[in-house]
Amino acid sequence: MNVATVAAIKGGVSTEDLEGIDTQVVLSNTYHLHLRPGDDVVYKMGGLHKFMSCNKPILTDSGGFQVFSLAKTRRIKEEGVYFHSHIDGHKLFMGPEESMRIQSHLGSTIAMAFDECPSAKAEHEYVQMSVDRTTRWLERCKKEMDRLNGLEYTVNKNQMLFGINQGAIFDDIRIEHAKRISELDLDGYAVGGLAVGESHEEMYHVLETTVPYLPENKPTYLMGVGTPANILEAVERGVDFFDCVYPSRNGRHGHLYTNKGHINLLNARYELDDSPIEEGCGCPACRRYSKAYIRHLLKSGEMLGLRLCVLHNLYFYNHMMIEIRDAIEKGEYSAYKKRKLDGFLEYDSIPVNDGYNIARNWRKG
């Protein structure tokens, strides 16, 4: 999925652009859209698809992660979470029913259940308590979703609901929670609470332990992950789809993904490089422009440079997923994975400091 948090992908990418780079699903965020422009505004405009002129499936995150990560002060109760807006500090409340109502207003294709995302370093006792509450919240989400889908004025009467498996890095909690939420027969399931402080080895272990207990005939979604290597490893462990801000964020910072490793386009070595970012790539940047020209745009603070870099990275991710599906259908995934990993460098520690200079130059311009 390509991440359009506030109904737009940062970097000047339009929904028309997404059609040209083979985007499959778009992700937007309930919390952010609830605050601005307001889910009531989106509802009055006919729902998120019409509002952002998007003909792709849209998944909306429940807002739970943002409530717990962005809100400086919060109180978690059985009914939901009391917190303050990260924009202006005004008091807010969000619980399972509120999250479902907001997402129903947005009219997304897939709504995510409201959950708590405990830290990877949280104690076993707290994680167990949190997961038990998340299960009760999921039951309330399902009940409210069923009610909302039956209302005459609902934007999308066929809105789907995905549940989220939590449990930090504790096998027993993860497995038991996967079993419990599977009994609810939801439209799909996600593994959440990863890439929040645990090691990659711990993340892969959680997937190996947990995914077998989720329904095999339903989509499995790994939330907020990750690098190309993360995706390749997760697919091998049974995950079907992903969302991650890396392609757009790193693109805006001049860091580009290729099949031979990552490129820091701000490096002086590309000043006179008239080749595309990657030979044979079909993205709008590679079809027409040289590294030297795009580097010039970035150094000059021109928005076009950021846009071309983001489009390239999104195209890279989208087409890697196309290749993955093709390899699975041919029964050649293991060989494909090895070839892919052997071909490029690890992307986990791409520095982004230079990108702040890009953004600052653009704002000055």
- Containing 86, the helix (H) or strand (E) segment is none
Is 159 annotated for ligand binding? no
Is 115 annotated for ligand binding? yes
d(CA 248, CA 255): 10
Is 242 annotated for ligand binding? no
Give every CB contact of residue 200 below 8 A, 6+ residues apart in sequence.
230, 233, 348
Residue 25 burial (CB count, 10 A): 17
Is 11 annotated for ligand binding? no
d(CA 285, CA 279): 11
Is 273 annotated for ligand binding? no
Is 226 annotated for ligand binding? no
Q: Tell me 113's DSSP state.
A: P
Q: Tell me 13's DSSP state.
A: B
Question: On the CB side of 266, how many CA atoms lie within 13 Å of its CA?
Answer: 20
Is 17 annotated for ligand binding? no
- Containing 193, the helix (H) or strand (E) segment is none
354 assigned to active site:
no
Residue 254 burial (CB count, 10 A): 25
Tokens describing residue 114: 């409201």
Is 192 annotated for ligand binding? no
Write down the catalytic residue from 17, 171, 172, 243.
243
Contact 61, 30 (CB under 8 A): yes
Backbone φ, ψ for residue 221 (5° rounding): -120, 125
d(CA 9, CA 280): 25
Is 281 annotated for ligand binding? yes
Angle between helices 228-236 and 333-343 (to 10 degrees): 160
Is 146 annotated for ligand binding? no
22 assigned to active site:
no
Is 40 annotated for ligand binding? no
Residue 74 burial (CB count, 10 A): 14
Write down the catalytic residue from 22, 39, 40, 61.
61
Tokens describing residue 5: 């948090």
d(CA 205, CA 233): 11
Is 65 annotated for ligand binding? yes
Binding-site members for Zn(2+) are 281, 283, 286, 312
Binding-site members are 61-65, 115, 166, 193, 281, 283, 286, 312
**Catalytic residue numbers?**
61, 243
Binding-site members for substrate are 61-65, 115, 166, 193
